[in-house]
Structure 1
């Protein structure tokens, strides 16, 4: 089956390569490996037949011992000690104990899940060494594996909910996440004139003077407002909060309520303030922690707004996220509760994280708008 698996992989890789780079450069073995990892580990879930064939076969055999015993009882064939597929897996995952798979009394009930988890975990550990990843590539790979970073991939395309992207937008998002250059390295930002539009698009993402910077924020805000409204939660968008005023001139100087949720915590209104950041700004070789930028942004918002809200019988909730979809704990807590309310008030599958998928898609759609706005015309 090896030849057939390789043939299948060649076609699958060619297809995703055509979608992402349209026959252009920069789609190499690293990009293919990323694409073929499970979604929960930062990949696109496009499994390589060559990679998964051995563990799928061994798991299948381990889960069908009773049937094997019945079919092969007079053949003299038993066990998997000398099985070729098992030998391949032993070489691929040397630290894994395969003894449980060679005995029908110890074979795990979820053999496929157990083996796949061990196999892909080993592949992830091997990534940095095998591909000699740069500091930026390592940071991006960590961001892709963060909780909720891949939620957008599970969002069902629905035009009425704004869950759709143009081919150019989706291709751009895939390039950004697969570490494929988007711009010329030496192109100066046409607006701020202070920095280069680096090849991977980080300046285009965080430059406040470029068009589209506020669009991403507003996109996520609008989707959060729509989710709450559809779930039956009383909310108001961009609600004026009268107590946050400057005594000298009576004008509001603080705007902590991108979305105001009425009676959300102990009967108190909740001021939800959204902040989107790029986790890779100022990246250095001194170390990188996933979500650090979003957590810092959330902390700054709390320092700025929480006291005033508390003193006036309001609750302040920072809603911080980064360009890869990482959500600060306060945002996760809010969305988890909204999902529970939706499950109670709306007919939605309990096993589907509709709320997180919609928010994840909104983040990526807003990011796509920023990046596409800066793409040179020939690339579009």
Structure 2
């Protein structure tokens, strides 16, 4: 039969059933290794070229396009969660990230990096973490359709009755300490199988940390602290970070080494390898630029929301103080009152703020907001004062979060763009 076909189609290729694939999905056990090796080879080719890209572009492509997103279809179609090639894939993924951002990653920093952004990572997911939720959710989502397609004699080995599904579910129970399995309709969604595994890893890291390590993990898990990692790098929108900025942002988030330890020119301390001294040093010019940039963004956003504001307005204060807030609206914002705001950024890991940072994410920023409220408690009654506090590791204070979310909602109404709040953050 094969010879007859070859006489008609001499260049046709043949494959054995065990090595067959259908639209990228392996149809046999041996084909799993074949497809996965091809995926690994693609990653290795990309690893050689990734350093030619802009660092922010490279990170965005790694997290959104070129790695796990290209592997997810395969992971959902094949029981590959125990395949050793996935460990090799993760090792090359780690090497690719190091080359893309020009940084070093120890095991603990790599483990944190592979967490979702909301849990304190940078969103570069491990294939070994994704494989299990992908297969479990796919089995259950396709179970009803498969039962209609296959003969009746095979229906007791598909979906939740598949021996490989049972093996995967037991492994999931072990990884999550026997957490409750997702129930319909949530059991069909990969995210509901993935979330408990990631939260277990993140909580274990947090419970093993103390002091500055705990404060760092709480800060990077705080709401909106990692939004810079979600921004699409676009120069015209001002959302593309230069290579040094994205490298600093990621290394601070992961507590990775960023420079050589040296004596600072301020003469007051030593700049350690993690770059923390530069965040509190009185000679660091970047602090003033940050202060101006944040206030400028708030002012422009208020103008877009049809509530123009002025910077450092002359405000009559009962204590005759010459200190002025950073800005105030010229029109009422809510309840017939104008708002005045003042911004302050606290160093998350500074000794002064550490007692607040180890309690909750954004604790240092909230503490600074409380101080600002006391400082401006004598403002005229026509103003509603809003303190805006943030931290060097990205966390926001409670008052700042409430105001920025409210401002974002008004921007959505005015611009008709549902992404306006995310653009603001």
**Contact in 2 for aligned 1:258/1:273 (Cα 8 Å):** yes
Q: Which residue of 2 aligns with 1:253?
A: 322
Which of 288, 292, 308 is the aligned partner of 1:234? 308
Runs of at least 5 residues in structure 2 that lack an aligned partner in the other structure: 1-79
In structure 2, the residue corresponding to 1:236 is in which secondary structure? strand
In structure 1, the residue corresponding to 2:157 is in which secondary structure? coil
Quick one: higher RCO (CA 8 Å, sep 6+), 1 or 2?
A: 1
**Contact in 2 for aligned 1:55/1:112 (Cα 8 Å):** yes
Alpha carbons of structure 1 residues 303 and 97: separation in structure 2 relative to 1, 3 Å: closer
Which of 296, 307, 311 is the aligned partner of 2:378? 307
Q: Which residue of 1 aligns with 2:11?
A: none
In structure 1, the residue corresponding to 2:270 is in which secondary structure? coil
Q: Which residue of 2 aligns with 1:211?
A: 285
Q: Which residue of 2 aligns with 1:363?
A: none
Distance 1:215 1:327 in 2: 18
Higher helix share: 2
Which of 246, 262, 267 is the aligned partner of 1:170? 246
Distance 1:261 1:55 in 2: 52
**Contact in 2 for aligned 1:20/1:175 (Cα 8 Å):** no
**Contact in 2 for aligned 1:238/1:260 (Cα 8 Å):** no
In structure 2, the residue corresponding to 1:263 is in which secondary structure? coil
Q: Which residue of 2 aligns with 1:148?
A: 224
Q: Which residue of 2 aligns with 1:112?
A: 190
**Contact in 2 for aligned 1:271/1:315 (Cα 8 Å):** yes
In structure 1, the residue corresponding to 2:358 is in which secondary structure? coil
Greater Cα offset, 32-41 or 132-141: 132-141
In structure 2, the residue corresponding to 1:256 is in which secondary structure? coil
Q: Which residue of 2 aligns with 1:273?
A: 342
Alpha carbons of structure 1 residues 233 and 339: separation in structure 2 relative to 1, 3 Å: same
Answer yes or no: is 1:44 the counterpart of 2:122. yes
1:88-127 map, 5 Å? 88-98=171-181, 108-127=186-205
**Contact in 2 for aligned 1:150/1:325 (Cα 8 Å):** yes
Distance 2:272 2:157 in 1: 61
Q: Which residue of 2 aligns with 1:377?
A: none
**Contact in 1 for aligned 2:215/2:354 (Cα 8 Å):** no
Answer yes or no: is 1:333 the counterpart of 2:402. yes
**Contact in 2 for aligned 1:207/1:213 (Cα 8 Å):** no
In structure 2, the residue corresponding to 1:262 is in which secondary structure? coil
Which of 62, 73, 91 is the aligned partner of 2:140? 62
Which of 71, 74, 86 is the aligned partner of 2:153? 74
**Contact in 2 for aligned 1:144/1:150 (Cα 8 Å):** yes
How many residues end up aligned between the 2 structures? Answer: 337
**Contact in 1 for aligned 2:344/2:368 (Cα 8 Å):** yes
Answer yes or no: is 1:17 the counterpart of 2:17. no
Alpha carbons of structure 1 residues 3 and 92: separation in structure 2 relative to 1, 3 Å: same
In structure 1, the residue corresponding to 2:390 is in which secondary structure? strand
Alpha carbons of structure 1 residues 260 and 188: separation in structure 2 relative to 1, 3 Å: farther
Deviation at 1:128, TM superposition (A): 4.7
**Contact in 1 for aligned 2:366/2:399 (Cα 8 Å):** no
Distance 2:383 2:180 in 1: 55
Deviation at 1:87, TM superposition (A): 2.8
Q: Which residue of 2 aligns with 1:85?
A: 168
Task: Provide, for residues 276-297 of structure 1, a one-character-per-residue CA deviation record: whole Å limited to 9, x for no partner.
Answer: 1112111769981222211111
In structure 2, the residue corresponding to 1:255 is in which secondary structure? coil
**What is the TM-score when the length of structure 2 is the normalising length?**
0.72
Answer yes or no: is 1:198 the counterpart of 2:272. yes
Distance 1:140 1:296 in 2: 16
Q: Which residue of 2 aligns with 1:318?
A: 387
Runs of at least 5 residues in structure 1 that lack an aligned partner in the other structure: 360-380
Q: Which residue of 1 aligns with 2:30?
A: none
Task: Provide, for residues 107-138 of structure 1, a one-character-per-residue CA deviation record: whole Å limited to 9, x for no partner.
Answer: 64544222111111111122257xx6453222
**Contact in 2 for aligned 1:183/1:200 (Cα 8 Å):** yes
Q: Which residue of 1 aligns with 2:10?
A: none
**What is the TM-score when the length of structure 1 is the normalising length?**
0.80
Deviation at 1:196, TM superposition (A): 1.8
Answer yes or no: is 1:288 the counterpart of 2:363. no
Task: Provide, for residues 47-91 of structure 1, a one-character-per-residue CA deviation record: whole Å limited to 9, x for no partner.
Answer: 111111012101111122211212333324243374332232222
Distance 2:157 2:363 in 1: 56
Q: Which residue of 2 aligns with 1:189?
A: 264
